[in-house]
């Protein structure tokens, strides 16, 4: 019930901001632009987003294979779709990671290995984002000036955030005992403040966490030896995912009869993605729409701006929710059937 409430909040917040953007930008030229809308380019935008999701599913499959598991592609696709639904209703899109770990575990991947796969995904994304920030600063200086962020604190702040996150992950991989001590200390502190029954369950959880941290560290050891080729493949698929998803807005621009502005749009998408990670609203709803309108408004005509933001957000966000609902319903039915079989004598 709570998740349904957050989903409703997320969708309504996104719709409200989109309505405001439309109200501020629609004029007679907007209707003329809609009359010239090229549905073929919209179809390409949809295919680009679909291909991006398939790249994500392929990345999960490749990383799982790097740890010795054969997870079918038909299993990886629903994992991705359920993930995007969970990410749409949690701040910083953080709800997607537990869903992916759970579904990989249900697919036969040991919990520690499933966690290693998901963390490896996040680490690859961080590395690509860091590379993108460096590229933006070094190569896209003129585009940064056009967007009004050159010389300001935004890009350095993004770089520091990415570096800090990557450093924390690397420290965890280098000194797993420190992570174990932190987890044990946290569960012990919580246990002293909770009733006896809950504290005992927390102790069992702590023991399991201790084992899974060892499995997690061992899994990354295998990635560093036998799984290097799989990591390289996953990195290529990660790059494919981001490039395909980041070009959706350019295809929408082409559908509106406007220049695609590939480099500027790529930079805008990178900045929007980072801004959306701020833990303010579920799934970054509202933040993404407002930041997109602000950034694209610097080089897209006002009459087409609202339509651009609406079409782009419908494809990369609202469509995700619809697809994720189908996958989520299938998972709920599967879990209900599983519990029923367990209860049966």
Q: Is residue 18 part of a domain?
A: no
Q: Is residue 203 part of a domain?
A: no
Let me know: does 310 contact 300? Beta carbons within 8 Å. no
Q: Is residue 182 part of a domain?
A: no
Range of the domain at 67: 2-7+36-174+227-343
Output the pLDDT for position 254: 96
Q: Is residue 332 part of a domain?
A: yes
Output the pLDDT for position 187: 65
Q: Is residue 116 part of a domain?
A: yes
Does 89 score more than 80 pLDDT?
Answer: no
**Token output for 57:** 């599913």
* pLDDT tens by residue, 284-327: 788 889 989 988 988 899 999 999 999 999 999 999 999 988 88
Residue 107 phi/psi, 5° resolution?
A: -85, 5
Output the pLDDT for position 14: 87
CA 303, CA 32: separation in Å to the nearest integer?
9
Number of separate domains in the chain: 1
* Angle, helices 154-174/176-193, rounded to nearest 10 degrees: 90
Maximum distance among all alpha carbons in the chain? 70
β-strand partners of 282: 91
CA 23, CA 21: separation in Å to the nearest integer?
6
* pLDDT tens by residue, 218-229: 666 777 776 678
pTM, two decimals, is 0.81
β-strand partners of 91: 282
Let me know: does 48 contact 215? Beta carbons within 8 Å. no
Q: Is residue 220 part of a domain?
A: no
């Amino acid at each position: 019930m709570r998740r349904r409430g957050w989903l409703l909040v997320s969708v309504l917040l996104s719709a409200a901001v989109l309505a405001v953007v439309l109200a501020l930008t629609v004029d007679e030229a907007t209707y003329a632009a809609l009359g010239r809308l090229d549905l073929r380019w919209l179809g390409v935008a949809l295919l680009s987003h679909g291909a991006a999701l398939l790249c994500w599913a392929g990345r999960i499959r490749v990383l799982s294979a790097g740890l010795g598991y054969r997870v079918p592609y038909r299993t990886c696709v629903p994992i991705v779709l359920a993930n995007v639904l969970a990410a749409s209703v949690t701040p910083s899109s953080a709800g997607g990671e537990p869903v992916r770990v759970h579904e990989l575990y249900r697919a036969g991947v040991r919990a520690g290995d499933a966690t290693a796969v998901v963390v490896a995904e996040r680490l690859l994304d961080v590395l690509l984002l860091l590379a993108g920030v460096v590229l933006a600063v070094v190569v896209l200086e003129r585009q940064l000036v056009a967007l009004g962020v050159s010389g300001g604190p935004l890009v350095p702040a993004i770089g520091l955030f990415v570096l800090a996150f990557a450093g924390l992950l690397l420290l965890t991989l280098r000194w797993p005992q420190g992570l174990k001590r932190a987890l044990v200390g946290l569960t012990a502190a919580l246990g002293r403040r909770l009733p006896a029954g809950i504290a005992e369950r927390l102790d069992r959880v702590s023991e399991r966490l201790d084992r899974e941290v060892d499995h997690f560290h061992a899994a990354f050891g295998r990635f560093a030896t036998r799984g290097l080729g799989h990591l390289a493949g996953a990195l290529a698929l990660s790059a494919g995912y981001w490039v395909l998803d980041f070009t959706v807005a350019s295809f929408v621009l082409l559908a509106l009869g406007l220049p695609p502005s590939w480099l500027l749009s790529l930079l805008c998408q990178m900045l929007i993605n980072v801004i959306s990670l701020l833990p303010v609203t579920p799934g970054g709803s509202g933040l993404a729409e407002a930041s997109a309108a602000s950034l694209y408004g610097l080089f897209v005509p006002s009459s087409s701006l609202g339509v651009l933001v609406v079409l782009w957000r419908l494809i990369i966000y609202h469509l995700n929710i619809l697809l994720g609902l189908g996958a989520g319903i299938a998972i709920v039915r599967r879990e209900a059937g599983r519990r029923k079989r367990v209860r049966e004598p």
